[in-house]
Amino acid sequence: MEKDIVKHFFTGTGSSYDSIVNLFTYGADRYWKKKLLAKVPKSRKILDLACGTGIVAFKLAKMNPCCKIVGVDMMWEYLVEAKNKASLNSCSEVQLICARAEEVKLRETFDCVTSSYIPKYVAADVLLKNISLNLKSGGVLILHDFAYPTNFVFQRLWHLHMLFMKIVGRPLFPKWRNVFDELAYFVKNSRWIPEYLEALKRFGFVDIQVEKYTAGSAAIISAVKK
């Protein structure tokens, strides 16, 4: 993972994450996660990497009541928020583990591995090497993250949105200052989509698909492990 970039961005933001991610994507995050969830096959065991506050993990549990769900995140404060959600909603089906997605060692394999917003932070070969150990043959991998639009008009709109986040977001949500200041540069310069598409082939994945959403500002890659 980019050295400490996640802690640099997200320390102190766990309690406000759900609100911020919906507010500053104008609700598109919910749409993207619906698209991710629609790609999840019927499974007995699902691993959600970089699960954060459990947005995807708890939806997976609701969709698959007899399925074992394991959520992994390196930010303990985010897992505290997830545990609070589980307590409030009497949801004990999700197991939460504090660890890095590219390093976590589990003694079982899963039918499906999902992850939202991690690919831009972790080199494809590093993450896929660990995922391959945790995903069974025939299992499905689904990765979601931001993307930089390719259309010139949408690029201009995207930059205006990022400027709006910086101008409006920083004074209102000071704990998110690093994200508002640096996320635009980080996303614009990320090559996570081509890098993961190439790496998935090297790791023997098949049926590799990429779909872009919301004028190309987000993407989902799915693939099946041989």
The pLDDT of residue 2 is: 54
Query: At 92, is the pLDDT very low, low, confident or very high (cuts 50, 70, 90)?
Result: low
Are 216 and 151 in contact by the 8 Å Cβ rule? The answer is yes
The pLDDT of residue 85 is: 87
Which amino acid, 40? V
pLDDT over threshold 60, residue 29:
yes
β-bridge partners, 143: 115, 221
SS3 65: coil
β-bridge partners, 47: 70, 113
pLDDT over threshold 70, residue 1:
no
pLDDT over threshold 70, residue 90:
no
DSSP 41: P
SS3 205: strand
d(CA 82, CA 106): 20
Domains and CATH numbers, the chain: 5-150+189-225 (3.40.50.150)
CA distances from 150 to 33, 36, 114, 158, 187 (A): 22, 22, 25, 11, 13
In the structure encoding, which two tokens stand for residue 46, read together?
Answer: 């699902």
pLDDT tens sequence across 127-156: 999 999 999 999 999 999 999 999 999 999
pLDDT tens sequence across 150-166: 999 999 999 999 999 99
